[in-house]
Structure 1
């Protein structure tokens, strides 16, 4: 089930943050953290994005990896800001437009979605599988897998673009 997420030109209510894909993002697969560190789940979100779609940096940071992992192009950006260890965003499958060590700004084009490596391979109803594997398909259509980590902990990347909870504090002496 896909869900459309509102945004104006990719800019959200979070200062200095943008959606990684242009237009109104469509989430084709949401955040589903595993119950155990190596259990099944989805450690990021998938946004609909056809091959060739320009991917933008969600926030300012430094490119810490740009290259292939398991046959797919991956881009990792360590974000500027507080927290230790720092937040890292990942984007795949992409062809990077930036190099390791380069500093990027929020909204800067950093990659483009790669075409499927086996465009003729399609999962069937009896055995939905990633081409060449026994694994279920990651996306049934072209998508950007967008992840977020702090250290070894996977986090929901939507936290970067959605505002946090509002908490009213007591006003003393009123």
Structure 2
């Protein structure tokens, strides 16, 4: 019996059920091969760690000024690197209300991410790649006390969104990949 991942099984199942296109009398010449987009243009990554603990999730407010949590708090020890989740341009790197803050406009979108409390290692106007360092977690000023954390936010036109929505599902998954049996063929 052979084993394949869940994703491979889904791809095989969808390919098996896909309709066959009608045959053409003449086939057009093949398109030239397309270069793969650079990894930085499509990449997404956690801003801290590999899969940090989410100490507090996103809780959208009912009204613009209502109570809620306009981002997620990710466990991160003081001094650990904070990385850009996606490629973009630094809009702000400085202090706000006594805390270090970095804000990045994501390339090709109307989205921006924010990270705090961060001691910035970038300046306004800098280009950052997905996974590129934007600073380190500051030792004080965290609202997760006594633990330190990074508050990660996501905005579109002044509206807060769930920042976890930027990450692909496989980065959010907990636990190891599962293998599924494939039936058929000589191993069946």
Unaligned 5+ segments in structure 1 are 1-14, 118-136, 164-174
Identify the match of residue 135 of structure 2 among 90, 96, 111.
111
Query: Aligned equivalents of 1:138 and 1:33: distance in 2?
Result: 18
Unaligned 5+ segments in structure 2 are 1-41, 170-188
RMSD of equivalent CA atoms = 1.6
Query: Aligned equivalents of 1:162 and 1:70: distance in 2?
Result: 33
More helix by share: 2
Identify the match of residue 150 of structure 2 among 144, 150, 155.
144
1:60 Cα shift?
0.4
Identify the match of residue 94 of structure 2 among 41, 62, 67.
67
5 Å-filtered alignment, 1:1-174, equals 15-82=42-109, 86-117=110-141, 138-140=143-145, 141-163=147-169
Query: Aligned equivalents of 1:157 and 1:92: distance in 2?
Result: 14
1:23 Cα shift?
2.2
Query: Aligned equivalents of 1:21 and 1:159: distance in 2?
Result: 16
1:90 Cα shift?
0.1
Query: Aligned equivalents of 2:60 and 2:68: distance in 1?
Result: 5
Partner deviation per Cα, 1:17-50 (whole Å, 9 max, x = no partner) = 0110122211000000111111111000000001
Q: Which runs of 4+ in 1 moved over 2 A?
A: none
SS in 1 for 2:160: strand
If the length of structure 1 is used for normalisation, what is the TM-score? 0.70
State whether residues 57 and 69 of structure 2, in contact with CA within 8 Å, keep that contact through their aligned partners in structure 1. Answer: yes
If the length of structure 2 is used for normalisation, what is the TM-score? 0.65
